[in-house]
Structure 1
Amino acid sequence: MIPLHPLAVSDVLGGTFSAFGRHWKPLIGTAVLSYGAALLVTAGAVALGIWAHLDTFDALERADRADDNAALASEVISLAVGFGLVAVVGMVCMMFATAMTQAASPAALQEAVLGRPTTFGVVWRRAISRAPAVLGTLALPWLAAFLVMALFTTGYVALMVAAVEHQGGDLAKILAGVGLGLGLLLVPLMIWLWVLFSLAPSVAVFEAAGPMQALRRSARLVKGSWWRIFGISLLVYAMAMVASSLIQVPFSFLGLFSMIPGLGLTSQVGEDAAVVQVFLSMGGYLLFTLLGSFVSQIVTTFFPQLAIGLLYVDQRIRRENLAPSLAEAAYGPPPQH
């Protein structure tokens, strides 16, 4: 799939397209199953939360009618705690699903680099066994991104309060300055950490390494090639975003066309039938829109990760003379899964 020598940018891009073309079925299957399971668990948690707080909703309504602020605050706190736990469950499920897709890319790439076929079962077993380690490698970059976003959000809200609402006084101005200023200062650090540890998920899968070991190994492999890896990664993510936007265009047009028949019939039928027809038309539009979003999300998920996995292979070829071992493995018997 790739030449067994240090890879040029064209080799990385060509290998990424080739890997996705050969292994799109197990990759998409892993994404559908992972995110589908995460959505089902989240929906179940939401339903359970609503069922458990039916009495709370009634008490909240009674307190609102009675203008009982103390009881109202108590019920609001109860709802906030309950649905806060639901939000945590949903977030954990989505994080694990993301780790599954991050692990699936190098799992498929292991065989793709050697020119061997693979199956959904093989990719799924490798991904699910390495997902906890991959999740651990993603924690630090995610934490850095969350910190920067929290600072920007705090600064923006404080700025709006001070400039638009004319409230908050000096405290709002200080929070706005600190939040926005510190957020801007930390953006370069966040980008540096993102590139430094970008190879960690591939290390966790290829080398069956733990989270901390994978982070240290990624830092060693990136050292001396930071700008090259940053440039190629930025190019790949930009290509994925453009492709994602282009993919959504035909689905948006199909969604708009699906609304035309229903909108034309609303004046020819009764009021109830017109309402049903409008809902069906909107349902068709939402269906096509969600389908387009799902397909584009597949591209933005797997294309960059496959490219970064190839950058990991490239760094090992450059630094550790991995090419002879790959050649020997490619012509040897396939491993037993």
Structure 2
Amino acid sequence: MNDSPGWATPGSSPSDGERPGAPSDQPASGGPTWSSEQPPPGQWSSPTPGQSSGSTPPPQAPPQQGQGWGPNGGQYGSPYGGQYGYPGGPGQWGKPPAAKPGVIPLRPLDMGEILDGAVATMRAHWRSVLPITLVVATLVQVMSVLLQKYVMSDLVLGTDPAENFEEAISTLGTAAAVTIGVAFIQALGGIVATAMLTMIFSRAILGNSSTISAAWREARPQLLRMTGLTLLLGLGFALLAAVLIVPAFLARSPGLGVLGIFAAFPLATWLWIKFSLASPALMLEKTTVFKSLARSSKLVKGTWWRIFGITLLTGVITSIVAAIIVWPLTFLGIGLFGGGMSGLGSGTASTAWGALVLSGVGAIIAQTIVMPMQSGVTVLLYVDQRIRREGLDLELARAAGVENYGTTGG
């Protein structure tokens, strides 16, 4: 077995929201009973002879195809010892010191530590992270600019209130097709970037660096499944919108449309968070599309609001960063090449080459910075949930070469 942490669905996992109080091979009295078919404990490489626990752990070999971070070698139980199985529990004075071989301490994380871990990975491993997002963002924006230039310029924006209804529907349909096309291009680029970034972040947790070629080799076997997961989620949200919103347009009922939007938005948000951890589960556990959805649902259960809050805060931060970069260049492009306010009124500002190029440059810079932040937070949320529920920190410490972890309080 390789030195990367094992990450497969356990045959019998702890109850939701609990960290087991004893190692899986010796459950405490009255504690959870583990499945007799639980896979045997994993074999982890120890530090080189004579190396102290405080020294830098040796680099771990990359996981081979078909192996991942699943509990194939997982032993579950609290590595902290004592009466309470987690740091900061009742009767404890805050969080005890924890091993930190990489960008996060190996214990349950708070919101600040998750955000800081994502930023720390970007700073420490920028030679691997930023080129990936830069290439993907550039390809996406080039395709988007060409699509907007040669499709949006053919749209007729009617201003006559008595405009023919069929013509208005045709215009809206074309605009929607352009929007869907741009979103599809972004989704494809996001699939590749997210898959590779997940591998880089997983190694950063262990204190190991990763090259672009290594990240690609590790991510490539799962890219087809990652694409299937993305398309399945997109299709699900599209069907949800079709069922709740489209009938209102067909019936020409604005009131029914508003009601459909109010019903679709909270339901879509709930599903979005419920399956938000499916991507790292798919990549790191080397599992299938439907199993990754089930894993995400299980990990999110009972902590939906916490994950929603952290995800929402990340979205707000990244949106502000992107706006600070994109909007000044967009307005500059409109002012210099798009005809200013008159160009906005006539619709030519959105299709002028200069305006499109400057806006695209701003979007490339913004996505290069924002994309790894979003991916990193998702991966660290996944790791945090497994630390809280499955004692994954014990396996991570072993994979990182931390000696005697879990026997003396971390």
> Alpha-carbon deviations, 1:87-116, whole Å to 9, x = none?
999876654322112212211111111111
Provide, for residues 131-172 of structure 1, a one-character-per-residue CA deviation record: whole Å limited to 9, x for no partner: 2222222334323432455568747756xxxxxxxxxxxx42
- Answer yes or no: is 1:224 the counterpart of 2:224: no
> Closer, same or farther in 2 for the Cα pair 1:37/1:240, shift >3 Å?
closer
Q: In the aligned structure 1, how far is the partner of 2:186 from the partner of 2:223?
A: 12
Q: 1:298-330: per-residue Cα shift (whole Å, max 9, x none)?
A: 333221221011000000110111112111211
**Residue pairs, 1:115-126, within 5 angstroms:** 115-126=207-218
- The alignment partner of 1:208 has SS state of coil
State the 1:190 CA deviation.
Answer: 0.9
After TM superposition, give the deviation of residue 125 of structure 1 in Å.
2.3
1:3 aligns with 2:105: yes
The corresponding residue for 1:26 is 128
- The aligned counterpart of 1:172 is 252
Q: 1:289 to 1:320 in 2, by over 3 A?
A: same
CA contact (8 A) 2:137 2:368 kept: no
Decide whether the 8 Å contact of 1:99 with 1:132 is kept in 2. no
**1: CA distance, partners of 2:129 / 2:217:** 12
Q: Distance in 2 between matches of 1:93 and 1:142?
A: 13
SS in 2 for 1:6: coil
Structure 1 residue 43 displacement after superposition: 11
Distance 1:240 1:89 in 2: 23
SS of corresponding position for 2:287: coil
Indicate the structure with greater helix content.
1
Query: Is contact 2:329-2:362 (8 Å) kept?
Result: yes
Q: Give the corresponding residue for 1:269.
A: none
Unmatched 5+ stretches in structure 2: 1-102, 148-172, 338-351, 403-410
The CA distance in 1 between the partners of 2:106 and 2:240, in whole Å, is: 40
SS at 2:290 equivalent: helix
Q: Structure 1 residues 94 and 179 mapped into 2: Cα distance closer, same or farther (>3 Å)?
A: same
Distance change (3 Å), C-alpha of 1:156 and 1:245? farther
TM-score normalized by structure 2? 0.55
Taking a change above 3 Å as real, the CA distance of residues 317 and 199 of structure 1, as seen in their structure-2 partners, is same
Q: Deviations over 1:184-218 (max 9, x none)?
A: 21222211111111000001111111111111111
Q: 2:282 aligns with which of 176, 201, 204?
A: 204
Identify the residue that residue 48 of structure 1 maps to in structure 2: none
**1:89/1:251 Cα in 2 relative to 1: closer, same or farther (>3 Å)?**
closer
Normalised TM-score (structure 1): 0.66
Q: Secondary structure of 1:198's match?
A: coil
- Check whether the contact 1:134–1:201 (CA below 8 A) recurs between aligned residues: yes
**CA distances 1:213-241 after superposition (whole Å, capped 9, x unpaired):** 11111111111111110111111111110
Q: SS state of the match for residue 230, structure 1? A: helix
User: In 2 relative to 1, CA 286–313 (structure 1 residues): closer, same or farther, beyond 3 Å?
Assistant: same
- Read off the aligned partner of 1:203 and give its amino acid letter: A
Distance 1:232 1:26 in 2: 25
Give the alignment of 1:1-337 within 5 angstroms.
Answer: 1-34=103-136, 94-150=186-242, 154=246, 171-173=251-253, 176-249=254-327, 251-252=329-330, 259=336, 286-331=356-401
Kept after mapping to 1: 8 A contact 2:248/2:256: no
State, as a whole percentage, how many aligned pairs show the same letter. 29
Q: Aligned AA for 2:234?
A: W
Say what the alpha-carbon RMSD is for the aligned residues.
3.8
Matched residue count: 264
For 1:227 and 1:105, the matched residues in 2 are separated by: 25
- 2:189 maps to amino acid: A
Q: Determine the C-alpha separation between the residues in 1 that align with 2:358 and 2:146.
A: 25
1:30-52 CA-partner distances (Å, limit 9, x unpaired): 3344466678899999xxxxxxx
Paired residue secondary structure (2:400): helix
1:122 shift after superposition? 1.3
Identify the structure with bigger relative contact order (alpha carbons < 8 Å, sequence gap 6+).
2
State how far apart, in whole Å, the 1-side matches of 2:126 and 2:141 are: 22
Partner of 1:265: none
Q: Note if contact 1:2-1:15 (Cα within 8 Å) is conserved in structure 2.
A: yes
